């Protein structure tokens, strides 16, 4: 009997289906060794050697594997093909005593299919210690930063805070974007349009002003209403005549297949799936044998998959829909591992409906179906012909000004048949050159430039990737961790904004540990880890180069940085209990008023800026304020607590129910409803009438 060990029970079950009775497939259930949680676990005095332990949850499975080992003729380690998977195999080999009396083989594959497993079994290798070292280096680096820097934050800011080598950079990106938004000064500008038609009773169309004296008009060139009015006055009595008609065929290429980053971005844009949820779904699809490995930054595609896509396209859509050649894509990133493949269906001929059938009753299966459909259609589309549009541009002259209308019509859908992309199809009037048009009216509109948008799941992942921060396996944990730590949160539009504590932690790290949160430094460290993986650098040397200046700076900052300078701001307010001055203090969940006589006096109250200016409907004395539970869930309660215990989960508004006079609240479903659970009053948010009595 041959024993195959993988890291996941689902993966074990899938592989077992392809193999006969000569093989037994078992799972390690993830990592079997790790650094201890109770201590640093890295000996910085002895070449940064890690102290690995077997967690309690892994002891039972290790004992089972050791028993099965005695019965096995051959041991095969088949964990994932990335650094993390290589490290799991290495830890298994160490614990199980492989390569002594018991020899082992290591196999890797990009997809869990019968053909891929059989091919891997024919081409075994040994554990790649360079990949293991790269994983160890990352783990040790992250442990040193987390376990050395977090206590500094506890002492100088608040207990329970933590810092991460890569996560902290993501927080800084969000804070910097928020500062850009705060500093942004809108610029006024105006646009001018002409409403025209061929003749009476014909359909009107709109043309935009684009040139003056044959020179393009910049978007911000018309700065105010006076300048817009001047142009409109200049156009008084002008004749509007078609000056040019340009028609051309425009071809659009399909997008490349997915990498981890682009899959997470697309899943957010189409379904609002978080990066974490997307990876959970992709993990299930991979382990069930439906898709190739889902942690990759490569756009490489195997010849087998390309020919399978060609056959499927020609059989189901016709020859004209195939690109006419095997379309290959080159990864822009220098760090991409080209030996890996892009994310694609394991069996290109298995359509989403044929693979999943009717599973709409199961929410998780429905979500998997959505993601599989996205992966399958993107892959099939990337081998299809271009989409072809007929594009038309019509210029209309009026005195020394030029107005323009653009339009396009789909001529051949090509890849869009499988992977639809929204585009504006504009129907243009049939016009001829030198044709005179009738002016209905000139329109001018005021606009203001907009600040940069806050990051959402997709754009923050894109920013991390573009800046070389993290790897395909880390994007989802980064976003998840910094939200769990309350450093960033999502607003009503599901965009990220920093919390008060997130901003303070970011500012401290930027001011005192710039190398930790510097984008270039972090990207450079990723390059070092890549070189370790390639055998070009020794992992302990990379750690040593980082650790010495970091440790020296940390020791200095413990002496220089005072907690009160970070967490306390004097005020002119007086404590209502003991008459001592009140301070604005910073806690783990934000700022609040606290008595300076603490711990003798424990009086605290919310800041005015957190108050909603709505009187408490219960006690009539306090105001409603935004608060958080211990698990950081937002709720709204009276600032006179514990004297008054009035609280709501939904955000109250300064209006009252026309039925029972209770306060109204806004729900996440764009509704306004009564806060009284016994009252059924509700209305769409946009239809809330001014007739509802305000307080």
Give the model confidence (pLDDT) of 321-345 as tens digits.
999 999 999 887 665 554 689 999 9
Could you tell me the two tokens for 3?
């024993």
Under 8 Å CB-to-CB from 490, ≥6 apart: which residues?
483, 496, 497
Q: Which of 23, 293, 321, 636 is catalytic?
A: 293
pLDDT band at 181 (very low <50, low <70, confident <90, very high): very high
The yes-or-no verdict on residue 499 having pLDDT over 80 is yes
Could you tell me the two tokens for 83?
């650094």
The yes-or-no verdict on residue 92 having pLDDT over 60 is yes
The vertex-323 CA angle with 317 and 324, nearest 5°, equals 105
What is residue 277's predicted lDDT score, i.e. its pLDDT?
A: 96
Q: Could you identify the residue written with the tokens 């606009």?
A: 447
d(CA 485, CA 494): 17
Domains and CATH numbers, the chain: 2-127 (3.40.50.140), 136-184+458-560 (1.10.460.10), 188-253+387-448 (2.70.20.10), 260-382 (1.10.290.10), 654-695 (no CATH)
- Residue 257's region, left for phi above 0, alpha for psi from -120 to 50, else beta, is beta
> What residue spans of 188-296 are helical by DSSP H?
225-234, 260-271, 275-287
What is residue 339's predicted lDDT score, i.e. its pLDDT?
A: 61
> What residue spans of 317-456 are helical by DSSP H?
352-356, 363-382
d(CA 529, CA 526): 5
Grouping H, G, I as helix, E, B as strand and the rest as coil, residue 612 is strand
pLDDT band at 693 (very low <50, low <70, confident <90, very high): very low
Under 8 Å CB-to-CB from 226, ≥6 apart: which residues?
none
- N-to-C CA span, the chain: 79
Mark whether 293 is an active-site residue.
Answer: yes
**Arithmetic mean of pLDDT, 127-140:** 96
**Arithmetic mean of pLDDT, 10-18:** 94
Greatest mean pLDDT among 376-380, 469-473, 626-630 lies in: 376-380
What is residue 613's predicted lDDT score, i.e. its pLDDT?
A: 73
Under 8 Å CB-to-CB from 103, ≥6 apart: which residues?
74, 75
pLDDT band at 691 (very low <50, low <70, confident <90, very high): very low
Tell me the β-bridge partners of 387: 252
d(CA 136, CA 143): 10
d(CA 686, CA 670): 8
Tallying the residues shown for the chain, one arrives at 695
Question: b/e map of 315-335 (b: 16 or more CB within 10 Å)?
Answer: eebeeebbbeeebeeebeeee
What is residue 247's predicted lDDT score, i.e. its pLDDT?
A: 95
What is residue 229's predicted lDDT score, i.e. its pLDDT?
A: 97
Distances (CA, A) of 600 to 157, 274, 456, 572: 21, 46, 44, 20
d(CA 148, CA 163): 9
What is residue 670's predicted lDDT score, i.e. its pLDDT?
A: 67
Task: Determine if the pTM surpasses 0.95.
Answer: no
Longest dimension (CA), the chain: 98
pLDDT band at 197 (very low <50, low <70, confident <90, very high): very high
**Do the beta carbons of residue 444 and residue 232 sit within 8 Å?**
yes
**Arithmetic mean of pLDDT, 18-29:** 94
> Between residues 607 and 10, which one has the greater pLDDT?
10
d(CA 652, CA 690): 16
pLDDT for 592-643, tens place per residue? 899 999 999 988 887 776 668 788 999 988 888 887 776 667 789 988 888 8
Q: Helix axis angle, 500-512 relative to 539-560, nearest 10°?
A: 110
What is residue 632's predicted lDDT score, i.e. its pLDDT?
A: 61
Q: Which of 282, 284, 377, 301 is nearest to 342 (CA)?
A: 301
């Amino acid at each position: 009997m041959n024993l195959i060990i993988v890291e996941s029970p689902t993966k074990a079950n899938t592989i077992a289906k392809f193999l006969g009775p000569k093989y037994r497939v078992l799972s390690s259930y993830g990592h079997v060794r790790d650094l201890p949680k109770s201590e640093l676990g890295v000996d910085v005095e002895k070449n940064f050697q890690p102290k690995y332990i077997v967690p309690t949850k892994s002891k039972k499975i290790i004992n089972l594997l050791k028993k099965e080992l005695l019965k096995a003729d051959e041991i095969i380690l088949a964990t994932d093909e990335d650094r993390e998977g290589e490290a799991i195999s290495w830890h298994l080999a160490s614990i199980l005593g492989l390569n002594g009396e018991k020899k082992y083989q290591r196999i890797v594959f990009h997809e869990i299919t019968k053909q891929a497993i059989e091919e891997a079994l024919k081409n075994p290798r040994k554990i790649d210690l360079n990949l293991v070292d790269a994983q160890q280096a990352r783990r040790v680096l992250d442990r040193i930063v987390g376990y050395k820097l977090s206590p500094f934050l506890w002492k100088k800011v608040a207990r329970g805070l933590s810092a991460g080598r890569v996560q902290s950079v993501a927080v800084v990106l969000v804070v910097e974007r928020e500062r850009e938004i705060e500093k942004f000064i809108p610029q006024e500008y105006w646009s001018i349009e002409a409403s025209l038609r061929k003749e009476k009773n014909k359909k009107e169309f709109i043309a935009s002003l684009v040139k003056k004296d044959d020179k393009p008009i910049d978007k911000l060139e018309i700065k105010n209403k006076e300048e817009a009015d001047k142009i409109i006055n200049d156009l008084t009595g002008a004749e509007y005549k078609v000056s040019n008609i340009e028609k051309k065929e425009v071809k659009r290429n399909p997008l490349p297949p997915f990498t981890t980053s682009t899959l997470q971005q697309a899943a957010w844009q189409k379904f609002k799936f978080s990066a974490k949820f997307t990876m959970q779904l992709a993990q299930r699809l991979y382990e069930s044998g439906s898709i190739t490995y889902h942690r990759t930054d490569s756009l490489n595609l195997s010849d087998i998959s390309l020919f399978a896509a060609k056959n499927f396209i020609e059989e189901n859509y016709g020859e004209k829909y195939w690109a006419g050649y095997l379309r290959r894509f080159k990864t822009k990133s220098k760090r991409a591992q080209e030996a890996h493949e892009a994310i694609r269906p394991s069996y290109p001929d298995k359509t989403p409906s044929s693979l999943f059938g009717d599973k709409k009753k199961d929410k998780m299966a429905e979500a998997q179906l959505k993601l599989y459909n996205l992966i399958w259609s993107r892959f099939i589309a990337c081998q299809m012909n271009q989409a072809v549009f007929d594009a038309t541009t019509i210029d209309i002259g009026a005195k020394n000004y030029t107005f323009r209308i653009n339009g396009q019509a789909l001529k051949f859908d090509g890849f869009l048949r499988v992977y639809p992309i929204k585009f504006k199809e504009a129907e243009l009037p049939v016009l001829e050159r030198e044709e005179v048009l009738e002016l209905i009216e000139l329109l001018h509109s005021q606009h203001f430039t907009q600040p940069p948008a806050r990051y959402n799941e997709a754009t923050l992942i894109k920013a991390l990737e573009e800046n070389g921060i993290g790897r395909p396996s880390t994007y989802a944990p980064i976003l998840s961790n910094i939200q769990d730590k309350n450093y960033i949160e999502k607003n009503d539009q599901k965009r990220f904004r920093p919390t008060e504590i997130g901003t303070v932690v970011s500012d401290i790290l930027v001011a005192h540990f710039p190398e930790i949160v510097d984008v270039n430094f972090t990207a450079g460290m990723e390059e070092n880890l890549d070189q370790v993986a390639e055998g070009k650098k020794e992992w302990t040397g990379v750690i040593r180069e980082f650790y010495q200046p970091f440790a020296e700076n940390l020791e200095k900052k413990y002496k220089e940085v005072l907690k009160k300078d970070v967490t306390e701001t004097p005020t002119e307010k007086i404590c209502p209990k003991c008459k001592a001055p009140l301070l604005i203090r910073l806690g783990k969940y934000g700022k609040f008023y606290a008595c300076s006589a603490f711990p003798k006096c424990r009086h605290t109250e919310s800041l005015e800026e957190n108050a909603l200016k709505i009187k408490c409907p219960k006690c009539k004395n306090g105001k409603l304020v935004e608060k958080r539970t211990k698990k950081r869930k937002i709720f709204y309660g009276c600032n006179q607590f514990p004297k008054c215990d009035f609280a709501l989960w939904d955000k109250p508004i300064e209006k009252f129910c026309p039925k029972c006079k209770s306060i109204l609240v806004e729900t996440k479903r764009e509704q306004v409803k009564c806060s009284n659970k016994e009252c059924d009053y509700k209305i769409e948010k946009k239809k809330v009438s001014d007739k509802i009595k305000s307080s």
